[in-house]
Amino acid sequence: MNKQTLLTAAKYVAIGLITLFMLGVVAGGGIFLYQVHKAPALSEKKLVATTSSKIYDSENNLIADLGSEKRVNAATSDIPTDLVRAIVAIEDHRFFNHRGVDSVRILGAFLNNLRRGNRQGGSTLTQQLIKLTYFSTSSADQTLSRKIQEAWLAVQLERKATKQEIITYYVNKVYMSNGNYGMQTAAKSYYGKDLKDLSLAQTALLAGMPQAPNQYDPYTKPEAAKNRRNLVLSEMYKLKYISAEQYEKAVNTPVTDGLQSLKNSASYPAYMDNYLKQVIEQVQEETGYNLLTTGMEVYTNVNRAAQERLWNIYNSNEYVAYPDDELQVASTIIDATTGKVIAQLGARNQASNVSFGTNQAVETNRDWGSTMKPITDYAPAIENGIYTSTATYISDAPYNYPGTTTPVYNWDMRYFGNITIQYALQESRNVPAVKTLEAVGLSKSKKFLSRLGINYPEMVYANAISSNTTKSDRKYGASSEKMAAAYAAFANGGTYYKPQYVSRVVFSDGTSKDFSNQGTTAMKETTAYMMTNMLKTVLTSGTGTNAAISGVYQAGKTGTSNYSDDELAKLTKPYGGSSVVTPDELFVGYTQKYSMAVWTGYTNRLTPVLDDGVKVATDVYRAMMSYLSESGTEDWEMPSGLYRSGNYVFLANATNRYQQNYYNSTSSSILEESSTSSNSQESSTQESSSSSSSSSSSSSTEPSASTSTNSPNNSRNSETPPARNR
């Protein structure tokens, strides 16, 4: 190929590339113009509008009008220079140097993301204001078209408004926690002052809150609030907005300095606070919009009468004899046929002046003990064909956690020999539970639990009787919300429904979104029925007789966690003479219609629940389920593929009526994984009451016992085997 030919080819290639570039420019310009055309109209009315979201109950009655109760707007002249500098320092260093979109900031964010592998936004303060006013914050909505529209409106706003006016819009628009909208409102509420009268430390605190107002709430999250405030001050110092002396004085100021007691000015009943917090979270998760900053109508699944009744059960002595005012309760009630959360409450004697604080009903930082046995051990064993009848025998005999020399103890340090799995569950024996998990295998159990909405970063054999995890993330472990949803699958024949607080949202532009919940198959109908058949005996003859309600068809499981030996020496009140010393006492029960999970304990885990408090969980359940079952309940119908003999249920294809003991104390069976003594241990415990009856219709007399469960050390982590506990 000669030189002339090469030059000709190069010319055509260059022409082609230029053409493609021009076409790309034209196409890009077309897309840009199209998206700009679709962008909402910029309006000052929208920028200064008072955000108000209306929340309705399941019967479309108004519960709350969020945003209407508290708002004091600040004029531009009312905003002090320190606040402007604090906002700019933490949100947009180059605010006064760009015209709505900052190419330098975008490039810097891009390079940072490449270097560190994380995501850093390049939005300006003006763009944040536009997003708060017009768009959702959902990651699903962070599309190219949305970014184009956001940038276009930001540029247009910068043309029409001064920097001071944009700051003013922002200061008055942001949500500041505890029902406060706008920073002037927050200044009045938190400090009883105008913005201009705040100290530097107080100003920095307010400036840092809008990104996560509830997370940086100085009343409920003082440490996080302090760290955020100090970050704002650090950025101000780097930009030379404040001196070293000012910085040192401000960072050493207590975060509580000047805070006054919050006044209750919520526009909704106190009994709705916990539920509304979950509504806000679900709307944010599903739509990307924060209903505290974006006006909308939200239709929820709350049964207002049930929610109020639950509040009264918690906060009066009419239904339950509480040992003291400090014992806490958290519970969730779910419609088992739909997954709709009809009622939820996270604490007794809640402070009425704090909005959307911690909701223990959805927290996974406490151990659910033996209530885990049905879903972790026995249901997956039945589902995987390991047990083909509720009369299958298993040996309750000395036994170690698989792969270790660590013994598994029953609460009473006794062993009953060969017993049916029904009796083992009824009396909450620990050894059969761990043996069952060994037979199932950790991986199969983990998969089964995942189908019920319960996840672990990793499972150990101690999880046969405990929900403790190695990580504190709320997505792991168990809560009243998760347990009610999991047991609901037993109630409805095997379908798992994700807990649903919201049924429908209507946005400010008139468009709407329906929240559907189709459910997924978690287990066979035969598995669900066999589990229900066994769990009925917990209430009729086992550890949960205190939860029984005359004339009501129901099933359930008790649970009790325990302290380690080291923790027992640190308890906050004497426990000598008490037969039960536990940080957590629990109950999960259900009818065909409703599933309810109840946690009881003290906020300080080292304050034990003693004899006089162990019945509270079942008392609360009984009081609430009695109310919900006033119109009567129906018994479960046995599905095809099963047959009954006496009190036991068998798969139709079972080889023999009473199976051999699945494996004895020396069997190794299916060891999928080996757990180490550092992460596998347990103990157990019970819920109270009865039981020393023998299971009728058994070919051998089955002894009686109490219940069990476990809870290794601290809130979530199980590093050493738990001691025996009742």
- Give the Cα separation of 376 and 437 in Å (integer): 7
Cα dist. 593→53, 247, 517, 571 in Å?
31, 59, 16, 40
| 101 in Cβ contact with 125 (< 8 Å) | no
Catalytic residue among 53, 189, 370, 480: 370
Please say whether the dihedral angle defined by the alpha carbons of residues 552, 485, 709 and 648, taken in this order, is positive or negative.
positive
- Give the Cα separation of 336 and 555 in Å (integer): 13
195-206: b (≥16 Cβ within 10 Å) or e: bbebbbbbbbbb
Element (H, E) at 172: helix 163-173
DSSP string, 303-315: -HHHHHHHHHHHH
Q: Which of the 8 DSSP states describes residue 375? A: I
Catalytic residue among 52, 58, 91, 675: 91
- Give the Cα separation of 351 and 221 in Å (integer): 15
Residue 631: both structure tokens together = 């119109």
CA nearest 61: which of 275, 291, 270, 304? Answer: 304
| 434 in Cβ contact with 712 (< 8 Å) | no
Provide the pairing of β-strand 296-300 with 53-56. Answer: parallel
| 624 in Cβ contact with 589 (< 8 Å) | no
Separation of CA 676 from chain center: 29
For the chain, helix, strand, coil in percent to 5 are: 40, 10, 50
Q: What's the half-sphere exposure (Cβ side, CA atoms, 13 Å) at 385?
A: 4
- Give the Cα separation of 21 and 532 in Å (integer): 67
Surface-to-core class of residue 437, CB atoms within 10 Å of its CB (0-12 exposed, 13-18 middle, 19+ buried): buried
283 SS3 class: helix
Active-site residue 326, yes or no? Answer: no
Cα dist. 454→53, 151, 408, 446, 505 in Å?
32, 41, 24, 8, 27
Please say whether the dihedral angle defined by the alpha carbons of residues 665, 666, 670 and 674, taken in this order, is positive or negative.
positive
Q: Which of the 8 DSSP states describes residue 362? A: G
The CA-based dihedral angle spanning residues 316, 320, 326, 328, taken in that order and rounded to the nearest 10 degrees = -110
| 341 in Cβ contact with 332 (< 8 Å) | yes
Surface-to-core class of residue 285, CB atoms within 10 Å of its CB (0-12 exposed, 13-18 middle, 19+ buried): exposed
117-151: b (≥16 Cβ within 10 Å) or e: eeeeebbbbbbbbbbbbbbbbeeeebeeebbbbbb
Q: What's the half-sphere exposure (Cβ side, CA atoms, 13 Å) at 556?
A: 32
Active-site residue 567, yes or no? Answer: no
Helix 200-208 vs helix 183-191: angle between axes, to the nearest 10 degrees? 130
Q: Which of the 8 DSSP states describes residue 38? A: H
Cα dist. 583→12, 63, 239, 243, 329 in Å?
79, 35, 49, 49, 12
587 SS3 class: strand
- Give the Cα separation of 424 and 184 in Å (integer): 61
Catalytic residues, which ones?
91, 370
